[in-house]
Amino acid sequence: MANSRAEMEIGRYHWMCGSSRPHQYHQVPAMRGSMSPLGIQGCFECCIKCLGGVPYASLVATILCFSGVALFCGCGHVALTGTVTILEQHFSSNASDHALLTDVIQLMQYVIYGIASFFFLYGIILLAEGFYTTSAVKELHSEFKTTACGRCISGMFVFLTYILGVAWLGVFGFSAVPVFLFYNMWSTCEVLKALAVNMTTSPDQICVDIRQYGIIPWNALPGKACGLALENICNTNEFYMSYHLFIVACAGAGATVIALLIYMMATTYNYAVLKFKSREDCCTKF
């Protein structure tokens, strides 16, 4: 009986241990897009986590802002140069008559350089502020706690973006003025072309007087172009290029207004979350 009990204990030991030889452990590879046995995330989860922390509204606004400012500044600069050339060659033979306008245009061109530089930096700062207030910061640095200084900076961006949005509405309206002037000249040239076919009215009776718009003084000579001279102006490269560049610059100003509106919504949302939920362990994804 004792022998049988000893044999039973030995059998149970072999059944539990399986073998006296040491076990060989093999590492199980982690499947792509799933969790490994050690709890390490795969590449797919890391990518999804990074994409989830991207402030898409701020990113779209940054791209739109850069594009709009580039179109406005680049096309506006070249169009202003072409406008001065048209005035000097066809509407004002005396340099003193359009000297003030030339100085204003040169000043506007320098202002364009400053606008381009400022919005390049401002767009990057707003994009960085959008990334800062996303959940990616919390996940990378474990704890995300806002301070009074951080909320003050976010509030300052809300106010500054609002002021810039109102200012760019004025810029957008101002950029439509040269488009209107060039459109009037272009439409008058189209009327001249129609009269050349119908021959109902003398072409010399169709004129465009730049002095009535206040661009040059009333004593400037010749001050206006009529008939064939006006048609030749519309056929020049300077007129054709300046007209279309002013249209593109106006469109760029409109795109910048839309970008600032998106920035305004994003910064307002971020500020609201940082202010009212700063005591909670949460942040934004806007």
pLDDT digits (tens, 9 = 90+) for 142-182: 445 556 666 677 778 888 989 999 999 999 999 999 999 99
- Please report the pLDDT score of residue 195 as a whole number: 75
Q: Check: CB of residue 207 under 8 Å from CB of residue 230.
A: yes
- Which residues have a Cβ under 8 Å from the Cβ of 223 and sit 6 or more positions away? 91, 92, 209, 210, 211, 216
B/e letters for 157-194, b = 16+ CB within 10 Å, e = fewer, are bbebbbebbeebeebbeebbebbebbeebeebbeebee
Q: What does residue 62 show for φ and ψ, rounded to 5 degrees?
A: -65, -45
Residue 42: per-residue pLDDT: 63
CA distances from 204 to 88, 177, 189, 233 (A): 22, 26, 12, 14
Rounded to 10 deg, the angle between the 56-86 and 237-276 helix axes is 150
Residue 140 pLDDT: 42
In angstroms, the CA 178 to CA 186 distance is 12
Task: Confirm if 35 and 42 have CB atoms less than 8 A apart.
Answer: yes
pLDDT on residue 251: 95
Q: Which of 281, 278, 269 is nearest to 129 (CA)?
A: 269
Query: By C-alpha distance, which of 54, 266, 249 is closest to 168?
Result: 249
Domain ranges, ordered by start, for the chain: 56-276
Two tokens, residue 222 = 């010749």
Q: In sequence order, what are the residues at sequence separation of 6 or more whose Cβ sits closer than 8 angstroms to the Cβ of residue 176?
A: 250
- Give, for all 286 residues of the chain, the pLDDT tens digit: 445 555 555 555 454 555 444 444 444 444 444 444 444 556 767 676 666 666 777 888 889 999 999 999 999 999 999 888 888 888 888 888 788 888 888 898 899 889 988 998 988 888 887 777 665 344 444 445 556 666 677 778 888 989 999 999 999 999 999 999 999 999 988 888 887 666 666 777 788 888 888 888 888 888 888 888 888 888 888 899 999 999 999 999 999 999 999 988 888 877 776 666 555 445 444 4
pLDDT at 41: 55
**Residue-wise pLDDT tens digits, 101-150:** 888 888 988 998 899 889 989 888 888 877 776 653 444 444 455 566 66
Beta bridge partners of 225: 208
Contact 134, 285 (CB under 8 A): yes
The pTM score is 0.74
Q: Residue 256 to residues 137, 248, 263, 286: CA-CA distances in angstroms?
A: 28, 12, 10, 19
Q: Which residues pair with 207 in a beta bridge?
A: 226
